Structure 1
């Protein structure tokens, strides 16, 4: 038991130190936000009939997301709240859930890069030109590698 606790503290400390000096995450933290699909759908969408959950994230859940990210070394709560949105790592339009494992504090400098791609991916899903699994892979790649967004967007536009 003690070894496990020591390992947890070491991992937490390393994670915290790795974010030292960064005010906000540039992408979702893999441990806090691995991404989760909708399991209790309000409806089904697109030719593929993917599960769709209506947006439903409480203010207290949002506050908890900021707190968890700050616990690993970010400083989101000392910044202007208006500079952030709580983002669904797997977007709702792609079948993502309102679960804390699918939510992260996305800074405006990040969502200005990814939001257009997200809408385009969902548009292609609606047209039956892109499968859910492929759209999710692309948006996850984009949110973790912002520099690749223009290339990803060009590939998706060609579909």
Structure 2
């Protein structure tokens, strides 16, 4: 576990130093406040949360890059393969495909947060974590990358 913390510390330091004005290291709260699925294709987990299938078209993705670049970032000048359009509240937690839940997430950021998303959704599936708590945790993590190692350790312990 100690090696995991060291790896995360290195990743976080790299992200924060490289991200200066190039790409967002977290979602902008005005553009991407997050939203939950309101038109579910199914219900999941013991809690029966709404689940939406992934459905984000290319025009919406391009629009998210453009919106963030209007804030001063330069995502469209960077390698598109270094990004994904992230669901701020992940689909597996009941997040929506609406634009207010989407942002361009750089690889160096999702390498830090994606493992936490998987653990939290697994804990939801096991009935050990409620949706409201999982959402609160992932929002905290995506806005405080330096806290992810500790949050991940707590999530594993649930």
* TM-score strictly above 0.5: yes
TM-align CA RMSD: 1.0
**2:75 corresponding residue in structure 1:** 76
**2:88 corresponding residue in structure 1:** 89
* Whole-angstrom distance in 2 between the partners of 1:40 and 1:134: 21
2:46 is paired with a residue whose SS is coil
Residue 121 of structure 1 deviates from its aligned partner by 0.2
* Whole-angstrom distance in 1 between the partners of 2:37 and 2:85: 17
Q: 1:8-157 to 2 correspondence within 5 Å?
A: 22-157=21-156
Mark the runs of 5 or more structure 1 residues left unpaired by the alignment: 1-20
Q: Normalised by the size of structure 2, how large is the TM-score?
A: 0.87
Q: Deviations over 1:6-64 (max 9, x none)?
A: xxxxxxxxxxxxxxx51100000000000000000000000000000000000000000
Residue 75 of structure 1 deviates from its aligned partner by 0.4
Residue 141 of structure 1 deviates from its aligned partner by 0.5
**1:4 corresponding residue in structure 2:** none
* Whole-angstrom distance in 2 between the partners of 1:44 and 1:86: 23
1:48 is paired with a residue whose SS is coil
**2:11 corresponding residue in structure 1:** none
1:60 is paired with a residue whose SS is helix
1:36 is paired with a residue whose SS is coil
Residue 97 of structure 1 deviates from its aligned partner by 0.2
Q: Deviations over 1:49-96 (max 9, x none)?
A: 000000000000000000000001100000000000000000000000
* Whole-angstrom distance in 2 between the partners of 1:22 and 1:108: 16
Residue 111 of structure 1 deviates from its aligned partner by 0.2
2:86 is paired with a residue whose SS is strand
Q: Normalised by the size of structure 1, how large is the TM-score?
A: 0.87
2:24 is paired with a residue whose SS is coil
